[in-house]
Amino acid sequence: MTDKKPPRPVGSTPVRSNQARPSFTDQEALAFHSQGKPGKLEVVPTKPMATQRDLSLAYSPGVAVPVRAIAENPAVAYDYTAKGNMVAVISNGTAILGLGDLGALASKPVMEGKSVLFKRFADVDSIDLEVDTKDPDAFINAVRYLGPSFGGINLEDIKAPECFIIEQRLKELMDIPVFHDDQHGTAIIAAAGLFNCLKLTGRDITSTRLVVNGAGAAGIACVELVKAMGFAPDNVLLCDTKGVVYKGRTDGMNQWKSAHAAETDRRTLAEALDDADVFFGLSVKGALTTEMLRSMAPNPVVFAMANPDPEITPDEAHAVRDDVIIATGRSDYPNQVNNVLGFPYIFRGALDVHATAINMEMKVAAAQALAELAQEEVPDEVASAYQGARPRFGRDYIIPAPFDPRLMTRVPVAVAKAAMETGVARKPIADLAAYRAALSARRDPVAGTLAGIFDRVRRSPKRVVFAEGEEEAVIRAAASFVNQGLGTAILVGREDRVEAAAAFAGVELREGMVIQNARISPRTNAYAQYLYDRLQRQGYLMRDCVRLASIDRNHFAACMVAMGDADAMVTGLTRNYSIALEDVRRVVSDKPGHCVLGLSIAIARGRTVLVADTAVHDMPTSEELAAIAIEAASVAKRLGYEPRVAMLAYSTFGHPEGERAERVRDAVRILDRRRVDFEYDGEMGADVALNREAMALYPFCRLSGPANVLIMPAFHSASIATKMLQELGGATVIGPILVGLDKSVQIVPLAAKDTDLVNMAVLAAANIGG
C-alpha cells in the first residue's frame, strides 16, 4: 500500500488538515446505520405471497402438512424450514470489540453486522439475538432451548472466562454446532498463516517454539489449536499480564490457563521470547518491544493481532529485523488475520451436512484449506486489487485475501469432509465435486469485485473531481472517499458555499479535500481555449467557451480530466443523466473503436446481472446492439465474470415475429461474423435468459447457463426494467456505469445518495468504463 499522496491539482484551494484521521467520521457511521430502514437486516419471504392460495399454502391450512411431517420425523425440518441455513449470532455484550462490557443492547449493531457477513460471504441466513444477562447459567438456559430454530449458534463478544463455560456447556446440551468465533475464528486464521510461515522458513512443527501473549478467549483457543495441529506442548508458552503461565503458579490462574501451564523457569514475556521462533500477540499495543524482537530466533514469525493497534507494527518490526515475517489484524498491512476468512465458510460446511458440532478436526481442516489456498496462484479477481503486482505465496502473502472467490469452494468442502470423517454429519454429501459446483453458484461475485476495486484504488490513489461540490451529499461522499484512503477529492464550487454546506452537514473538510472555484482558477483560460479548439466549428464562439469553463461546473470538471489536472470525474446529482452526458461529451472524446453506453449492475436475491444499454442509445441498430454486447462483455470480464450474453427482445427465437425482433437477430448474426470470444445468443425473452428451466425448452440455445449480461433492445426498455427491479423487486442497482469514453467519467442518477456517489467515484478512479 502506497504512502504517497496524490499531487494537489493546479490552482486548488487547500482545506484544513487533521492529523491521525479515521477512515470515516462518527457522523458517517451513524448515518450508515440509520439511513433508510434503521439497522442492517430485514426479513424477505422466499415464497410468493400474492394470492389467497399462496397464503393458504404458506400458513393455515397448508402449513399443517409440514408440521405433521416434522412431528413424525424431526430430520425433515431441514427440508421444509429455513433451519438448515439459519445461524443465530448471540451475545451478552460483555466484550464488544475492543470497547469492553457495554451491555447486550449496545452489542446489537455488531451482531447485525456479523449476520450480514454470514449472508454476504457464504449465503448463510442469520439473525442476531442479544441476551441481557451476565450470569453464565442464565445465558446458557436462555440459549439451550433455541436448537429447534437454528442450524448453528455463533457466540460473539462474550468475555473470558465466562465464554469458556458458556460454550462448553451449550455444546453438551445442544445437538447443533456451537462456535465462539472470538476464540476459534482467530485461532483458525492464525494457524493457517503459521502453517505457511513454517513452510517458508523451513521449520519443523514438532520443534518450533511458540510464545502466545494474551490468555483470554482467543489466546487459549490458539494454543489448543496449534497443539492439535502438531506443536509439542513443551514448546508452547502462554503469557498473560503477570508473565508466563507455568506449572505451580497460583496468581491470576484459572482452570483454562492451568491446562496450558508449562514446565519452565522462564517468568517474563521477555524471557519467554528469548530464541523463540514464533510470537502470537492477542494482547495490547506495544506489548512486543523491539528488544524482545531482537532476541528471537532467526527468521522470526510475529502475529501481532491486537486491534486496532498491533503489539508491534510491521514498520517497527522491519526496522529492527529484515528477516521477520509479520501478520496483523489490520487491512492496511499485508497478511491480515481476518475472521471473515473463517466463520462464514465453516458454518456453510457444517450446515450443509447437518452437523451436530464443529469439532477440532473441522477447525484443523479449515486452517489447512486456508493455508493451501494461499500457496496457489491467485485468480484475476484478487490480482486486480494489487494493481499489477500479482500477489504470490511468500513472506507478504501467507493468508488468502478476504475476497478470494475460491474461499467459498475450498473451506466449506474441507469442513464438510472432516465432519463426515469424524461422524458428526447427519447428512453426508456423496458427491463433493457436485457440492463444490453448487457452492460456486451461491457466490455473489459483484460484491467481492467492488471490494477488490476499492482495494485497487487504495493502492494507487487517484484525483477525482466532484463537479457538484456545493451539494451536501457530494461533500459527504468526497469526505468518505478521502477518509477511506482512495485519493484526493476535488470539489468544484465557491469556497464559502462549500464550507457552509460542509458545516451544515457536519462534515469536516480534511486534508485531501480541495476546492476548485472555476471563476478564479488560473486554469480557466486554458480550459476555455481547449473548449474553443474543440467546439469552434460547432457554432461556439470564444466567449461561449469562456462562459462554459468559468460558470458551468460539468464543463470545468471535464476539462480538468481532459487536460490531466484530475484523473476522473463524477457528476449527475443535480442534472438529468442525458444533459450531464451531453456536457461531458463536448469536452471528452469517445474512445476510438469503442461504443459509448451505460451499463447497470443489478443484484437481486443473490444473483447479479449486467444490463446494457441503460443510458445512451435510444433505439440501437443491429450494428450498435452488437457493439454494445462486445463492450458489455468486456466490462463483465474486467469485473471478474465469464460473460454469458443474452440479446433480449419481446420474442424468443422467432416467435412472435416483428421488425424489432429481427433487428436483434441481425445483431446475433453480426456477432457470429465477428467471432467474438464470449457466449451469446438471442433473440430471447428475459424469462428464457434468466431461468434455467425455461431455457431448457430451447436445447439449441448456445448459452451454457442463465445469462449474466443482458443486452436490451432499446434504452427505454433497459431503463424501465432496472428501475422497476430496484423499486419493486428490491434489487440493488449500481450505475449506469458510463463505458467507452476516452477519459474516466461517471454520472450518477438524479438525487443519488452519498454511498452511490462514493461507489461511482471509485469506479471512475479505477477506470472500469475505460
Dihedral sign, CA of 629, 635, 637, 642? negative
Pairing of strands 278-281, 301-304: parallel
Q: Give dist(CA 109, CA 98) in Å, integer.
A: 14
Query: Is 114 among the residues known to form the active site?
Result: yes
Q: What is the DSSP letter of 125?
A: E
Helices (H), 174-240: 181-201, 217-228
Nearest-angstrom CA–CA distance, 262 and 258: 9
Q: List Cα–Cα distances, 211 to 236, 271, 303, 688, 727, in angstroms.
A: 6, 10, 10, 60, 55
Rounded CA-CA distance 112/107 in Å is: 9
**Cβ neighbours of 111 (radius 10 Å):** 26
Buried/exposed 33-59: b ≥16 CB within 10 Å, e otherwise: eeeeeeebbeeeeeeeeeeeeeeebee
753 is catalytic: no
Q: What nine digits make up the cell of 602?
A: 443489478
CA 744 to chain centre: 24
Query: Rounded to an integer, what distance in angstroms lies between the CA atom of residue 187 and that of residue 341?
Result: 11
Gap between the Cα atoms of 80 and 99, Å rounded = 41
Catalytic residue among 5, 40, 83, 114: 114
Residue of 4, 37, 59, 108 marked catalytic: 59
State how far the Cα of 461 lies from the Cα of 702, in Å rounded to an integer: 41
Burial of 389 (0-12, 13-18, 19+ CB in 10 A): exposed
Residues 6+ apart with CB under 8 A from 716: 618
* Length of the chain in terms of residues written: 770
**Number of neighbouring beta carbons within 10 Å of residue 583:** 22
Q: What is the spatial distance between Cα 198 and Cα 181, in angstroms, rounded to a whole number? A: 25
Q: Using CB atoms within 10 A of its CB, is residue 243 exposed (0-12), middle (13-18) or buried (19+)?
A: middle
**Catalytic machinery residues:** 59, 114
